[in-house]
Structure 1
Amino acid sequence: MASSDYARIEQAILYLDAHAREQPSLDDVAAHVGLSPFHFQRLFTRWAGISPKRFLQVHTLSSARRLLAERRSVLDTSFAVGLSGGGRLHELFVTLTAMTPGEFKLAGEGLTVHHGVHTSPFGDCLIAVCERGICGLHFLTGESEAEALESLREQWPRASFIESTKLTAPWAGRIFPQTPPRERTPLSVLVKGTPFQVQVWQALLRVAPGDVATYEDLAKAIGRPKAVRAVGSAVGDNSVALLIPCHRVLRKTGVIGDYRWGSSRKQVMLAWETLRREADNEDGDGEALQSGLA
C-alpha cells in the first residue's frame, strides 16, 4: 500500500470517528479524502477487510471506556495464564530475546544491522534486522528515513549498519503479508533494555489484537502496581513498533494518549485491529480477508 493510500485511510478513520453520531454517508467520507465513492469503497475495504458502512456499525474507538470494560476479563485471563487472548487469525507470534548485561554494555559491538524502508497498512516504516531477528521497526511519522536510522544508531552505537532492502523485504513480508498465511512461524525480536523495560515489553506481548490495556494493568501484570509512571516510560521507549504492541495501551480514562509514531496512527491501528477481529468473527475461515498482519 502506498503512503498516499495510508494517508487517505487515516483521514477517513479520523473523520468517521469524529462524525460517528452523524452516520456520514459513503459520499461524505469519500469527498473528505478526495476520492470518488467507488474508489474509496475499494480502498477502505482492501485495507480493512470490511466496508466503511460496516465499520460505522462496529465502531468502538469513540467509546474507548466501553472497550476497556468489555475486554478487561479477557485481559486478566491472558495475563494470568501468560498467553495472548483472542484474535485467532491476526494474532502476532513474537519471540522476544533481550540482550544479556554483557551484550548491553557492548552497545551493539560486533552486531551487523541491515535496514530498509517498506510500505505497510500503517504507512512507510524502517525495518532493521540482525542475525538474531528484528531489532527495530520505526514508522516514518514526521521524520525522514535518515532520522529514524539515527535513532537506531543511538540505540546500537557500536553496530555496523548496512542498507539492504532486499534482505529486509522477506521480514517485511512476514510482518505485513498480502494474504493470511496458512502457517505462522514466530518472529524473533531482539531488544536492548533494562530488566524492568523487558518485563513491561513481555507483558505487552500478552495484549492480543483487538484488546487494550491500561498502564495500571501492565504495572499490575509485572507485579509492580505502584510503578505506573515507570511503566509508561518503558512503553514509550519501545523501538519495535507493532510487534511489541505499545499502541494497545490506553489511559484508564479511555483516552488514546500519546504515541511515539503519532496518536493518529495509534488510533488507526486500534481501528484496524478491531475491524479485523470483527471480520474474523463474521467470516470464520478468513477467506474474505485479502491483506493484513500475520
Structure 2
Amino acid sequence: MDKFLDENMGDRATYELMAKAIAFIRQNHRQQPDLAAIAQHVHLSEYHFQRLFTKWAGISPKRFLQYLTVEYAKSKIAETKNLLELTGDVGLSSSGRLHDLFVNIEAMSPQEFKTGGKGLQICYGIHETMFGDCLIATTERGICNLYFLDGMDNQAAALMLQEEWSNAEIICDRQITQPICDRLFSHLPNLNTAKQPPLTLYVKGTNFQIQVWRALLRIPFGGITTYQGLGRSLGRPNAARAIGNAVGSNPISFLIPCHRVIRESGELGGYRWGLERKTAILGWEASHN
C-alpha cells in the first residue's frame, strides 16, 4: 500500500518526497540504487514513484540520475566556461537570463545600505513551490529577497526578513508576491515570457558581492561553473574563497543562481538551503535545458 497518492499531493509534499529520494540516492551513490530500492525508501510502489517523479521532473528517475554524475558535472563546467568567456567579452555582466526570464540588478546606494531599509516598504509572501516552500520579498524597486524555508516555520522566516531589513516596513501580502512566484516556478519551462518586462532585483551588498552576483546571472540555464571559474571570469582567479563567501551571501536564491556553482572536482560543495535542494534544482534544470 502506497504511503502517498500522487493525485492528492501538492508542491510541498511532492518536493519533500523528491528530496528524501535524492538524499537516499546521494548517500548510496556508490551502490547505484535501482528504482525499486528508491521507491521502497520513500514508501511508494515502483509504479507510483516513477509516475510522481516523472510528473515533477519531466523525465524518468533513470534519466534524471544521469545528470547527477560527476562526469556530467565536469562536462558542463567545460561547456559553461566557454559561454562565460563569451558573455564576458560582449559585456553582458549587467543582466542575466533564467530560461526566458531576463533579470536586471539594481544596487542599493551606500546611504540606503546604512539606514537598514528606513523608509522602504517590503511586501512578502510565503509560497509552495516545486523546490519547497520559499519566502519572496519585493519592494517598488524590485525583488529584494528569495529564500527557501528549509525547515523554518513561517514566523521564523518572517523574523529573518525583519532582521535583515531592521528599519523597513514589512507587510505580508501574498497577492503582491504570487505573480512573481508563478513566473519563477512555472511547471512549463518553455513558457513564453518575451512580452513580460525584465525582473528587477534590488540588492544590498558590497561592491565585490554585487560584482559576483552579476557574474552568477551570466551562468546560463542548465550551466554549471566552479568557484575558480567564476573568479577567472571576474579577473580574480585566486579569489576562490572570497568568491565562495559572496556566493553564499546571495540574498535572492534561485533567481541569482548560486546553485550553479560547484567544486572543480565535480562535487556539489555547499548550499545554504541544503544539498538535496541544490541537487534537485540542478537536475531539474539540466533535464529541461
Scaled by the length of structure 1, what TM-score is found? 0.84
Which of 167, 186, 190 aligns to 2:176? It is 167
- Which amino acid in the other structure matches residue 144 of structure 1? D
Q: Where does structure 1 lack aligned partners over 5 or more consecutive residues? A: 278-294
Give secondary structure in 1 for the equivalent of 2:235.
coil
* Cα distance, 1:54 vs structure 2: 2.5
Of residues 61, 66, 69, the one that matches 1:61 is 69
Which residue of structure 1 aligns with residue 5 of structure 2?
A: none
Unaligned 5+ segments in structure 2 are 1-9
Q: 2:128 aligns with which of 119, 122, 131?
A: 119
Instruction: Go from structure 1 to structure 2 and tell me whether the alpha carbon gap of 1:257 and 1:41 turns closer, same or farther (over 3 Å shift).
Output: same
Query: Which has the larger displacement, 244-253 or 145-154?
Result: 145-154
Q: What is the match of residue 285 of structure 1?
A: none
Answer yes or no: is 1:182 the counterpart of 2:201: no
Instruction: Give the aligned residue type for 1:216.
Output: Q
Give the secondary structure class of the aligned counterpart of 1:217: helix
Distance in 2, Cα, partners of 1:14 & 1:190: 34
Whether the aligned pair in 2 keeps the contact of 1:91 and 1:209 (CA below 8 Å) is no
Deviation at 1:19, TM superposition (A): 5.2
1:212 aligns with 224
Shift of 1:70: 4.2
Question: Is the CA contact (8 Å cut-off) linking 2:260 and 2:282 kept in structure 1?
Answer: yes
| Secondary structure at the counterpart of residue 170 of structure 2 | strand
Letter in 2 for 1:8: L
Post-superposition shift, 1:195? 1.0
Taking a change above 3 Å as real, the CA distance of residues 255 and 27 of structure 1, as seen in their structure-2 partners, is closer
Task: Figure out how many residues of one structure are paired with residues of the other and give that number.
Answer: 274
Give the match for residue 233 of structure 1.
245
Which segment drifts farther, 126-135 or 10-19? 10-19
Shift of 1:46: 1.6
Q: Distance in 2 between matches of 1:89 and 1:252?
A: 23
Q: Residue deviations 1:11-39, cap 9 Å, x none? A: 22344455567554433322221122232
1:190 partner amino acid = Y
Deviation at 1:83, TM superposition (A): 4.2
Residue matched to 2:81: 72
Which has the larger displacement, 267-276 or 117-126? Answer: 267-276
Aligned to 1:290: none
Amino acid at match of 1:44: F
**Does the CA contact (< 8 Å) of 1:6 and 1:121 recur in 2?**
yes
Does residue 248 in structure 1 map to residue 260 in structure 2? Answer: yes
Q: 1:1-294 counterparts in 2 under 5 A? A: 1-17=10-26, 24-56=33-65, 58-63=66-71, 64-83=73-92, 90-179=99-188, 180-184=190-194, 185=196, 186-277=198-289
Contact 2:76-2:225 at 8 Å conserved across structures: no
CA deviation after TM superposition for structure 1 residue 190, in Å = 0.8
Tell me if the contact between 1:92 and 1:243 (Cα under 8 Å) persists in the aligned partners: no
Contact 1:91 1:208 in 2 (8 A): no
Contact 2:80/2:219, CA 8 A, preserved across alignment: no
Cα deviation digits, residues 155-191 of structure 1 (max 9, x gap): 2111000111122111111111243422243211110
Instruction: Give the secondary-structure state (helix, strand or coil) at the position aligned to 1:129.
Output: strand
Is the CA contact (8 Å cut-off) linking 1:90 and 1:276 kept in structure 2? no
RMSD: 2.4
